[in-house]
A = this chain, B = another copy of it.
């Protein structure tokens, strides 16, 4: 891998904290393998500093794009000139790029990365009934992407009932063919895809997001949590013979989506 030098094109990943992000290592290794002279560097930016940091970064003539992680995905919406459809639907973006005319375009790839991860493991979500637990930021992106991918039905549960109701209504309005609805409890019966989009599983003492003994035979189980790589939920589901998708499976397809969005495709 040749070192970063004068002609290298620059990308930044903005978040706070930032040490834990792994997309730079992933994308940089992929760009190096593809012979693309570009680098994604971590940039720790506090929530209150986002606007001034981005104003400065836009002055860097060789900086072609940014990736946004917590807590910047919503706030970044107000700092671009154009938001692509998925970002508009979700009200958040996790990547922005500089266009040839100097303007900035943003889009949200969290959900598309999840769906691409499912496809990568051979699980096409089209036509499946889905139970999704968690209707926060990541959950919203995934629910919309699953609807676009043609799921038959989408049951949404969240301990904050309002969030799940609002997301179900938004998904139903955006993709009329999908039966998206709020459910009063996370009941997995009859669902062929069951996914956790909450932080449950990051803590050792966390409850399981779904009762695994109620899973339908053959149901695929997925998790957005990346630490631990295999959550207690996935572990319990796998022990019962279910196919599982750990959260970190999303990294590779998401990197490929970012690279294509930036015009420096790795696949």
Contacts and interface: CB of A to CB of B under 8 A. Distances in A.
Interface of A: 1-8, 10, 16, 18-22, 24-25, 28-29, 32, 39-46, 49, 52-63
Nearest to A42: B6
A62 B18 contact: yes
Given A45-B59, A56-B54, A25 B40 contact: no
Q: Give 10 nearest A-B pairs by CB, closest first.
A: A56-B56, A5-B25, A44-B61, A3-B28, A53-B59, A6-B21, A49-B59, A44-B62, A7-B19, A43-B60
A44 to B, nearest CB: 4
A29 B44 contact: no
A62 B45 CA distance: 8
Contacts of A3: 1, 24-25, 28-29, 32
A58 B25 CA distance: 24
Nearest to A55: B56
A229 to B, nearest CB: 16
12 contacts: A4-B24, A5-B28, A7-B42, A10-B42, A39-B41, A44-B60, A44-B62, A45-B61, A46-B61, A53-B59, A54-B56, A55-B56
